[in-house]
Structure 1
Amino acid sequence: MGMIGSGDSEGGDEFQLGPIIQTIRAGWKWPVLLGGVAALLALIMVLITSPKFEAGGSLYLASAEKNQPLSSDALSGISLLTGLVQGSNMDTQIEIIRSRDMVQRAILASGINAQVWNAGHRPGLSYAGWVFGGRELSLYAPPPHALRALYAEVTNASLAGQVLTIRFAQADKYQILHHGKVLLTGLLGQPAVGPDLRLTLDPVQPQYVPAAHAEYQIRINSPLASYDAMMSSGALSVSQVGGLADAAGAGRTSYLVGIHYQSADPYAARRFVQTLMQTYLTETGSWSTDQAGATYDYLSGQLKKIRTALSAADTRLANFQSKSGVISVPEAAKELIQQLATYETQRSQTKITLYGLQQIQKALAQPDSKLNPYLFSNVQDPVLNGLSTRLAEAQTKLDSLQKLYTSAAPQVVQVKSEIASIRSAIGNLVNNQERIANQQLQSIDSIIGQTRAQMGSYPRSELEIISLTRSTEVLGKLYMFLLQKQEEAAVNKASTLTKNRVLDTALVRDKPVAPDAKREILLDGLLGVLLGLGIVLGRYWLHPGFRSEEEVRRRYPFLPVYGLLPAEQIPPKTQATSFKMPDPRSSYGEALRLLRGNLYLAAGEGRGQVLALSSAIPGDGKSTLAFQLAVALAQDGKKVLLLDADLRKPHAHLAFRVAQEPGLAAVLAGRSSWEEALHHIEDTGIDLITAGNTPPNPSEHLGSGKLAELLVALRSHYDYIVMDTPPFPMVGDMLTIGPLVDRLLTVAKIEHTPRRAYQEHLQGILGLHRPSGLIIFGIHILGSYRYGYGIHAKGGSWASAESWRRFLVSLRNRK
């Protein structure tokens, strides 16, 4: 037969579920062990971890509901501004709550960046302590003698995160020390400021005063570091709560914002959430009233001036009337006076509008300034109001991006470009409106001048009374106009007081949100199991040996299979223990008998059959199988000789506990006859010729021609001669022994014999042109798998009669 193909023949790596299942079954200890270890480690980590509690509250943002963005109809015809005033006011408010400045204010006011504890007694509770302590929040309640540091900041960066000592000298006076150096001296409950740090130290219980010489310890982190840690870990969450649905089922915006914060101290978490909500309400409230207050103050000043001028005008008019006796004003003059008063009122209104536009221009003149949306209240222009809302949202978005990216990042550049575009649009609109307002003011001044000129045509005696009456009427109307505007400003100021409210005060649940013990243990245990399975399957896929019986059959379909021996009952190595036959009732014993039957069918009834067993590498079970096969043939009444032809590493004498000398080496060297080297093994019924002492030149002994003569002499005395040979091609003795035997049986062991080594082994075996057969060692039993030997169809069933006939013909042709 010619040389076989490559060991990586087609179909060699076909996916097979059966061998994989058997591999997992065989390596079940790995996933079980790793899963158990991972679950145990997860349990330990959970028990020593500090549990985290979540505090949550909610805000109702009425101002966001009131200040909705403009509709597209308000922007029709202004293509430059289209899209600039769109956006969600709720998103802006959420970003304001999450902003660095707002959160840092709440951190300082709530004191969560500073820990204070009694000297020598560090606070903290593990998950195990919480579980075994009764699972009560009261475990975290501060003791009566606890202190709290508010508005704590270290101006010396080297002190951030350092443990400092608080020592009370007397009553409520204390010192803060670091390595014996006094950093700060203060009074309990009073702000204390030093060159290195500042804080306000308060007792948790209002009436508590530490005893003299009492010592505490404090650790202060910078509010910026606390903010960064809070945001990077996701401990703080600010999000829009839910959404409403209208009658048609369409979604509508919700004006509720939920604030949640996780901390190992549930009381600190609740305090921080409550403080953050109050800080937001206070800050946004002050922003809202700033501009309205400025307008109110401006109008109040104007009213004071007009009231003084009106009082003076009334006095002059009364004095003139009493002296001159002229009481009434001509009807035509009265009409002119009323017109003049109206024009003066319009002039004042235009000046108020100019005042608002000038305030916006001043803010725009500062490139990095943030425009307050309330600056636009005096202008009363819907487009400007919409642009101001969009600008505030873009500025908030820029603040968020600058925390994550550099100024050169595309996202930051894009938002900066958007802000510049909005500011430019606002500037253009303000310039246009300011120009129009100035033109209106000039027109009103021109009309007022013409009206006054008409009044100059009256007689001198009437001009005086007309002038005084005009002043009184104009100033009176101006006063009423400004008084109305002041009332509007007062209403506007009151309306700008934020209507945002705390809907749900901060509440902390009595069950920690982390760690989730069941989830962590289950997940880590599952990951351990998957890792174990990965190791088992990795070893399976990366193993260089055959993975299954089907793979051996698929690679070498031309090689007749004489036997399939299961892996479950492979006996121990014979060189380590005495030889022992398997239980005849076991699957291995049955497989061995079927192997014997297949040899009968292949060899016929002829005597003197010489069988040689070989393998590609040591450890394939070749010697064990040779001993067992010889005994199995003897148990069936055959006269059998077991010949140990492995002159390099013999061990038949160890397995059967007989003397090593004389043996085959002595017979081939002529030092002994084969009869003298013969051992009869009573309990097995076989004869044995051991290999003898290992000669210095085994190949020369085997190739001397004496082995052929010995086999000729032995054939007439035995039905079967079973030879155990060394691995080939690791040792080349098979090239000498092979041509002398009647049948070569090659052994391949699943998950042990390397594919490439067996390919080279089989190439040499087939090159001897002797009848050959395959014995597959170490197969796995799958469920109802039936052991069948000889030629097998796929799935392990017996071959058809036609297949068996072709097999026998091929054997005769080889002979």
Structure 2
Amino acid sequence: MQVEDDEIDLAALVGTLWRGKFLILFCAIAAVLMGGWYAYFQATPVYTSSATVALESRQEQVVDIESVVTGLSGDQATINTEVEVIRSRGLLEKLVNRLDLVQDPEFNANLRPEPRFSIGALVGLIRSLISTETEDLAVPSERSELDAVIDAVLEDISVSNIRQSYVFRITATTENPQKSAAFANTLAELYILEQLETKFEATEQATTWLTDRVAELQVQLEAAEAAVKDFNAGAELVSADALTGLNVQIKELRDRLGDTQIERDATAARLDALRVAAASNDIDVMAQTANDQTLNRVRQLMANSGQESPDRSAFDARFEQIVTRAQLEVSRAENQIGALQETIQQQEQQIVNQSADLVRLQQLQREAEASRLIYEFFLNRLKETSVQEGIHQSDSRILSQAVVPNRPSAPRKSLILALSMMLGLMFGSGIVLLREFAQNTFREPSELESRTGYTVIGQVPAIPARRRKNVLKYFVDKPTSAAAEAIRNLRTSVLLSNIDNPPKVIMSTSSIPQEGKTTQSMALALNLTGLGKRVLLIEGDIRRRIFSQYFELPNTNGLLSVLAGNLSLQDAVIRIDALGADVLIGEKAKTNAADIFSSERFAMLLETAREQYDYIIIDTPPVLAVPDARIIGRHVDAIVYTVKWDSTSHRQVREGLKAFEDVNLRVSGLVLGQINARGMKRYGYGDSYGAYNAYYDN
């Protein structure tokens, strides 16, 4: 069997749409009629009017001072924000109140008359029937009614920003042209007035706050200045220069203290040396240590006296004076050091105290200065804000007023008709394609061949006979009909299916019952007898045995009697004059039919029939119902597999053919039977089959 791929065949798709062209055309016409009915009779005409507002991103101020509420920047975020401001419920509420839209039935549903039938009423009725709980019917309040009107107005108002500009287009759509223009113009005016009111309120609030703040800052400034004055009155006046002078003085005192300490140390060392020399009682040592001119002269006089023990009193008295003077110098140095240290300590404490006072004073002065600056800033802002209260400018201006439209903007009748036609074409095409994709049966021989891989050797139309007994009469009375010619084509295809070994035993089967295989078997037998051939028709479906519905048969023996050996083949067959052939009917058997056809006697029966007849046609049961057909197929020369047009599913045919392939039997050809000519035209296949059918008489 041929394997299907996932590619879409555009030619087949176009062909499918072309075959369903009448259905598509009908859907398009119906859609256009419905669209025209809506556009011309049902749709309410509405009128659209637009006003444009320009955003002033840069404004010239009347006074060169900073505004409390600055102008808009003009970036995309600001533009989007302003669009939402125009569509805000607060602004629309002002519009509703100014135009008194609560009393307008177009926007207030409570003022409209109740329609005789509405979807809402039907839904409410269904809910009341389904619901088991009783609901309190709340009376709508004035606020809820106003909110509903605002919602309705919001649906009819649109605001858009013109690309690459600071211009907003305010568009209103209503059922009245004057109302549409009034909507757009009023909303634009309210938007600009809203900007002015917002700035005025902001300025007024800022003035009030600044007044209170300035009063508070004035009190703080006065308190800070009083603190500086009180501190100056209670503390010694200090300055940074005075502290610098004190630091210089204390440095000088420290230098003097160092020099005095050095001098004291030197004097103390000399005093110690003198005392050591005195302890030695050596005149020379004492004179050398004292290094005094007077003492040296006394020592010289004593040496010049020539006495062995000169008088030392003068020398000792002078040396004692020198020691005493050295002691006085040491004492005086100590006193100076103490005085200097005390003075340094006093000045250091004075520096510490005055530094703390200076820091405190500077802090108080800075606080007073800061309070003064803040006070002056807020005082200036208060004066600027007071000046701005009467000179505010809006951030937008009306660029063009909305005009009263001369014609309705909707419904656009030509557009509705065009869209209706397109929708109708799409709907019709969808139905055709859906029907085609959902189709699970066979309508064309090419499709049957492509899906099965077998050749279609016959196309047999449906026989216009209500009763099966009239089938043969139809073929006899109308030998030139399409059905008769289709059987002739089938006969030719079967006989030519194997040129080297023309088939003599032909089996007719199908997937399921009621596919027309029995009718085709009899028609094929009738056609072969018309050629002067000896034909035997065997009823191989011994389970149903429906030959009696086609012929008047005596209650006689048949196939089972021959197989049992009770009758010969010549004695068991029945000659049907209307058919021109011999018929071997089936009999009811207690033994399983598959076992009967698997027996050697059945094979011998067929061999005997081959010798006595030119052609043997066996009508077998459906292959999916019972295994009889596969068993009988082992003894035949050709297998004709019948598929009912637009009835047998793909799966059934595929499984039936596979059942033969599983037992190494190959079907000689397929027959698409019971073709409905009108159905072919309805499905769009009339172009190919209609001409074939019209060529013959019915």
* Higher strand residue share: 1
Shift of 1:66: 3.5
Give deviations 1:669-706, integer Å, cap 9, x for gaps: 77876556655555654444444678796456555665
Which position in structure 2 is the counterpart of 1:103? 92
- Counterpart of 1:626? 521
Which residue among 703, 706, 728 is the counterpart of 2:623?
A: 728
Q: State the partner residue of 2:156.
A: 235
Which of the pair has the greater relative contact order for Cα pairs under 8 Å at 6+ separation?
Answer: 2
Decide whether the 8 Å contact of 1:622 with 1:747 is kept in 2.
Answer: yes
- Structure number with higher helix proportion: 2
What is the distance in 2 between the residues matched to 1:652 and 1:55? 79
Question: Which residue does the alignment assign to 2:507?
Answer: 612
Structure 2 counterpart of 1:504, from 394, 398, 401: 401
Q: Aligned AA for 1:94?
A: V
Letter of the 1:285 partner, please give it: L
Measured against aligned partners, the alpha-carbon deviations of 1:290-334 in whole angstroms (never above 9, x if no partner) come to: 567899x99xxxxxxxxxxxxxxxxxxxxxxxxxxxxxxxxxxxx
Asked if 1:644 corresponds to 2:637, the answer is no
Q: Please list the CA deviations of residues 196-218 of structure 1 after superposition, one character each: whole Å capped at 9, or x if unmatched.
A: 64xxxxxxxxxxxxxxxxxxxxx
Q: Give the equivalent residue in structure 1 for 2:146.
A: 223
Q: How far apart are 1:58 and its partner, in Å?
A: 0.7
1:507 partner amino acid: V
Where does residue 331 of structure 1 map in the other structure?
none
Confirm or deny: 8 A CA contact 1:750 1:777 kept in the other structure: yes
Tell me what 1:526 maps to: 425
Which residue identity does 1:57 align to in structure 2? S
TM-score, normalization: structure 2? 0.55
1:32–1:635 Cα change, 3 Å: farther
Q: Residue deviations 1:308-363, cap 9 Å, x none?
A: xxxxxxxxxxxxxxxxxxxxxxxxxxxxxxxxxxxxxxxxxxxxxx959969x99x
**More divergent stretch after superposition (33-42 vs 767-776):** 33-42
Q: Greater Rg, structure 1 or structure 2?
A: 2
Is 1:616–1:757's contact at 8 Å kept on the other side of the alignment? yes
Instruction: Pick from 762, 765, 770 the counterpart of residue 660 of structure 2.
Output: 765
| Candidates 493, 518, 521, aligned match of 2:390 | 493
Q: What's the counterpart of residue 338 of structure 2?
A: none
Asked whether the 8 Å contact 2:51–2:184 carries over to 1, the reply is no
Distance 1:358 1:547 in 2: 94
Name the amino acid aligned to 2:96.
I
Deviations 1:707-756 (A, max 9, x none): 44543443333211111111113112224423332333333457544454
Gap runs ≥5 in structure 1: 1-6, 69-82, 127-155, 161-195, 198-219, 244-251, 299-353, 363-434, 446-477, 789-815
**Which residue of structure 2 aligns with residue 658 of structure 1?**
552
Equivalent position amino acid for 1:501 in 2: I
Tell me the distance in 1 between the aligned counterparts of 2:34 and 2:525. 54
**Using a 3 Å threshold, how does the CA distance of structure 1 residues 602 and 109 change in structure 2: closer, same or farther?**
same
Alignment CA distance shift 1:564-1:16 (3 Å): farther
What is the SS of the residue equivalent to 1:617? coil
Q: For the residues of structure 2 that align with 1:104 and 1:615, how far apart are their CA atoms? A: 78
Q: How does 1:447-458 map to 2 (within 5 A)?
A: none
Q: Could you say which residue in structure 1 is the equivalent of 2:318?
A: none
Residue 438 (structure 2) aligns with: 539
Indicate the SS of the match to 2:93: helix
Match of 1:55 in 2: 48
Match of 2:194 in 1: 283
- Find the aligned partners of 1:564 and 1:106 in 2 and give their Cα distance: 80
| CA-to-aligned-CA distance 1:610-630 (integer Å, 9 cap, x gap) | 111122223444333323322
Provide the rounded CA distance (Å) in 2 between the counterparts of 1:286 and 1:771.
Answer: 95
Matches within 5 A, 1:392-791: 438-439=372-373, 489=387, 493-494=390-391, 496=393, 500-501=397-398, 503-514=400-411, 517-519=416-418, 521-540=420-439, 543=440, 549=445, 553=449, 561=455, 563-565=457-459, 569-571=461-463, 578-579=470-471, 580-581=474-475, 592-603=487-498, 609-654=504-549, 656-659=550-553, 661-662=555-556, 664=558, 667-668=561-562, 678=573, 680=575, 682=577, 685-691=580-586, 698-699=593-594, 702=597, 707-748=602-643, 752-766=647-661, 772-777=667-672
* Contact 2:660-2:666 at 8 Å conserved across structures: no
Letter paired with 1:659: L
Q: CA deviation at 1:20?
A: 5.4
CA distance in 1, matches of 2:115, 2:624: 68
- Percent identical among aligned pairs is 20
Query: What residue identity is the alignment partner of 2:420?
Result: I
Task: For 1:731 and 1:644, locate their aligned partners in 2 and report how far apart those are by CA, in whole Å.
Answer: 15
Displacement of 1:606: 7.5
Q: Does 2:139 correspond to 1:159?
A: yes
Q: What is the 5 A alignment of 1:328-343?
A: none
* Conserved? CA contact 1:666–1:672, under 8 Å: no
Against the structure 1 CA distance between its residues 539 and 697, is the aligned structure 2 distance closer, same or farther, given a 3 Å change threshold? same
Inter-CA distance 24–292: structure 2 relative to 1 (3 Å threshold): closer
| Whole-Å separation in 2 of the counterparts to 1:702 and 1:653 | 21
Distance 1:501 1:84, change over 3 A: closer
Measured in 2, the distance between the counterparts of 1:92 and 1:607 equals 91
Q: Which amino acid aligns with 1:55?
A: T
What amino acid is aligned across from residue 425 of structure 2 in structure 1? L
Change (3 A) 1:624 1:236: farther
The alpha carbon displacement at 1:25 in A equals: 6.3
Which residue in the other structure is 1:262 paired with? Answer: 173
Q: CA deviation at 1:227?
A: 3.5
State how far apart, in whole Å, the 1-side matches of 2:466 and 2:567 are. 27
Could you tell me whether the CA contact under 8 Å between 1:54 and 1:260 is conserved in 2?
A: no
CA shift in 2, pair 1:54/1:638, >3 Å:
same
Go from structure 1 to structure 2 and tell me whether the alpha carbon gap of 1:358 and 1:94 turns closer, same or farther (over 3 Å shift): farther
Q: CA deviation at 1:644?
A: 2.5
Task: Give the distance between the partners of 2:210 and 2:90, measured in 1 at CA.
Answer: 31
CA contact (8 A) 1:53 1:508 kept: no
Matches within 5 A, 1:240-319: 240-241=161-162, 253-255=165-167, 257-264=168-175, 268-289=179-200
158 and 278 in structure 1: CA distance in 2 versus 1, 3 angstrom threshold:
farther
* Paired positions, count: 493
Conservation of the 8 A alpha-carbon contact between 2:495 and 2:503:
no
Instruction: Kindly indicate whether the alpha-carbon contact (under 8 Å) linking 1:34 and 1:532 is maintained by their aligned counterparts in 2.
Output: no
Note if contact 2:52-2:399 (Cα within 8 Å) is conserved in structure 1. yes
Give the residue type in structure 1 aligned to 2:147: L
- 1:425 aligns with none
Q: Say if 2:525 and 2:579, in contact at 8 Å, map to a contact too.
A: no
Give the direction of change, closer, same or farther, for the CA distance of 1:556–1:539 in structure 2 (3 Å limit).
closer
- Return the alpha-carbon distance in structure 2 between the equivalents of residues 555 and 728 of structure 1: 19
